[in-house]
Structure 1
Amino acid sequence: MIIEIDFNSEEALYLQLCNQIIMGIATSRFREGDPLPSVRQLADSIGINMHTVNKAYTVLKQEGYVKVDRRRGAVIAIDADRCETLEILKKELQVILAKSSCKNISKEEIHELIEEIYEDYA
């Protein structure tokens, strides 16, 4: 598992870790049922505290990306509740689009960005 953490970033380490795993799922590096390293293994390999990895795994579990299996540990488990996910996404996009509107970013520019980013995941 290749996880890159930017120790100079203002973004919290656990969020960077969450985002890296989510990006891995979106780009098919990680698939449904793939096991994640143990908290200790991942912390040691990246060079971060085990509590940070545990927090990331907890957030990923709460958001429906990971489930914890007693025998296998943390495994990729993409949330099947599509409607709920769409509602959450809609709320997040409303804020992003409001910010974009305040900065005079056009609808066309937003669509171009979405197409550019989505190409990495399709």
Structure 2
Amino acid sequence: MMIEIDFNSDEAIYIQLRNQIIMGIATSDIQEGDSLPSVRQLADTVGINMHTVNKAYSVLRQEGFIQLDRRHGAVIALDIDKIKALEIMKQQLVILLAEGRCKNISREEVHNLVDEIFEGYE
């Protein structure tokens, strides 16, 4: 999995890292049981601070995407609580859809966009 950080982005680096790891899982570039690089190794490879990688890994652990183990490091281990995941997704979508509605984005356009995105995961 290739991690690319946009240092000019307004998005925090640890969030960019988190998002890219989640995208790697969604697209099967990385799978359940795969180990992620150590904090130091990933920080050196990407050229970022170790604390930034540690924060991204911590967020991923809290969100149920990885487990942290002293012997094996960060390992992809999905906590599949579908009900909780759907509730979080709904909270995020409420705002995104409201923003789209304010900009005259139609239901059909949203459905087409969702279908297009899901096709990228297959």
Q: TM-score range by the shorter chain?
A: over 0.9
Whole-angstrom distance in 2 between the partners of 1:18 and 1:26: 12
> 1:1-122 counterparts in 2 under 5 A?
1-122=1-122
- Aligned residues: percent identity? 66
Q: Cα deviations across residues 38-94 of structure 1 (Å, max 9, x unaligned)? A: 000000000000000000001101111111122101101112111111111111111
Find the residue that maps to 2:67 and give its secondary structure: strand
Whole-angstrom distance in 2 between the partners of 1:18 and 1:80: 18
Aligned residues: 122
Find the residue that maps to 2:75 and give its secondary structure: strand
Whole-angstrom distance in 2 between the partners of 1:19 and 1:77: 16
Runs of at least 4 residues of structure 1 off by over 6 A?
A: none
Find the residue that maps to 1:17 and give its secondary structure: helix
**Gap runs ≥5 in structure 1:** none
Whole-angstrom distance in 2 between the partners of 1:52 and 1:102: 35
Q: Cα deviations across residues 18-53 of structure 1 (Å, max 9, x unaligned)? A: 000000000000100100000000000000000000
Whole-angstrom distance in 1 between the partners of 2:72 and 2:114: 36
Whole-angstrom distance in 1 between the partners of 2:58 and 2:16: 14
TM-score for the superposition, normalised by structure 2: 0.96
Find the residue that maps to 1:87 and give its secondary structure: helix
Whole-angstrom distance in 1 between the partners of 2:68 and 2:51: 16
User: How much does 1:3 deviate?
Assistant: 0.4
**Gap runs ≥5 in structure 2:** none
